[in-house]
Structure 1
Amino acid sequence: MKIFGERTLNPLLWYVNRKSISKAVFIGTFWGMMPLPFHSILIVLTVLLFEVNLPVSLCLAWLTNPFTLVPILYLGFWLGSKIFQVNMIDQDMMLGVLHQISHAITHFGHGHIDLSLAKILLSGLILEAFIFAIVFFVITRLLWRWNIIQHHKRRRNFQ
């Protein structure tokens, strides 16, 4: 956070309201669904650009973890294969791609990734991230509204 300096002290990045939180959920979910190294930096840059809640967005960076990586990649390949109208890859190819990705990440880009598969995967991942981000955004807005309605009902019943 130090590299971003005074910008992270902007009060708007710590503000809690319906719009700030729901937009932060969108940003965090979108980048959190992208299995990229250092995606937290992309989250912080996007949050600084749109001035939404920083902690919520950063928490959602953990959507991609060792337990969720394979389902995220599988769904990304499936969506990408639908976009490009090609057959879905089999289990052996999926393991090969996972090995290529992990090798490229651990060796800082010095590895081979099949570009035809990368195009399918990347397009599927972008669509997947966008869909999940929209769904989480809408759910956040609905839950926030429901909470406010419940609060008003309790207050009315109390009086």
Structure 2
Amino acid sequence: MPKKLIKRYLPDHTSIKSNKYLQIFGEVLHDANLWHLNRRSVAKAFAVGLFMAFIPVPFQMIFAAGLAIIFHANLPLSVALVWVSNPVTIPPIFYFCYVLGTTLMGVPEKQFEFSLSWEWFVSSLSTVGGPFLLGCLVCAIFFATLGYFVINFIWRYQVTRNWKKRLTRNV
């Protein structure tokens, strides 16, 4: 069952509640619904986490936590899924987003060197910023939607399969 697998890898909710960066959310973190693992909260968490993974802003985890609170998604999973974009995966992800953006806008690709820094990001906005940000937004929406529906499907499939196993055992 996906619930058991996910629960095994999630951090303890007390450690997240005591995180100094998440204290800006105050008492909202004590809402028990943010910590439940059910089909809806996990599917929403995948959507939130994957959406924020493709948005090129600093402090993605804090934004993911805020969106998880707004959409009543599983908070730890939403925050953890932001790490799909990590220092190893960011260059290929962002390059793909840039290429997608140039394709959608119908503009030619420009030569540039990628640097994982805020200065590079700000200075490059004038040259490659439009296609890059469009590609990031399209990828964020696509993968968030895909993650939501795939998790819903997997969860329902597992529940149905477990019910069928129980019925065959009892017959």
Q: TM (normalized to structure 1)?
A: 0.86
Alignment pair present for 1:152 and 2:167: no
Alignment pair present for 1:87 and 2:102: no
Specify the SS of the correspondent of 2:131. helix
Question: What is the Cα deviation at residue 34 of structure 1?
Answer: 2.1
Specify the code of the residue in structure 2 equivalent to 1:123.
L
> Which whole-Å deviations, capped at 9, do the CAs of 1:12-64 have from their partners, x for residues lacking one?
11122111110111001000122321011111111111111101101101011
What's 1:115 paired with? Answer: 126
Question: What is the Cα deviation at residue 89 of structure 1?
Answer: 3.2
> Which whole-Å deviations, capped at 9, do the CAs of 1:81-110 have from their partners, x for residues lacking one?
0121011234xx1x1xx23x51527xxx8x
Aligned length: 149
What's 1:5 paired with? Answer: 26
> Which whole-Å deviations, capped at 9, do the CAs of 1:101-151 have from their partners, x for residues lacking one?
51527xxx8x52342411110011010111111111111011001100111
Q: TM (normalized to structure 2)?
A: 0.81
Structure 2, unaligned stretches of length 5 or more?
A: 1-21
The equivalent position to 1:22 in structure 2, one of 36, 43, 47, is 43
Alignment pair present for 1:104 and 2:119: yes
What's 1:35 paired with? Answer: 56
Specify the code of the residue in structure 2 equivalent to 1:104.
E
Alignment pair present for 1:78 and 2:99: yes
Alignment identity in percent? 29
Specify the SS of the correspondent of 1:80. helix
The equivalent position to 2:81 in structure 1, one of 50, 60, 81, is 60
Quick one: distance in 2 between partners of 1:75 and 1:112? 19
Structure 1, unaligned stretches of length 5 or more?
A: none
What's 2:138 paired with? Answer: 127
Quick one: distance in 1 between partners of 2:81 and 2:100? 22
CA RMSD between the two structures: 1.7
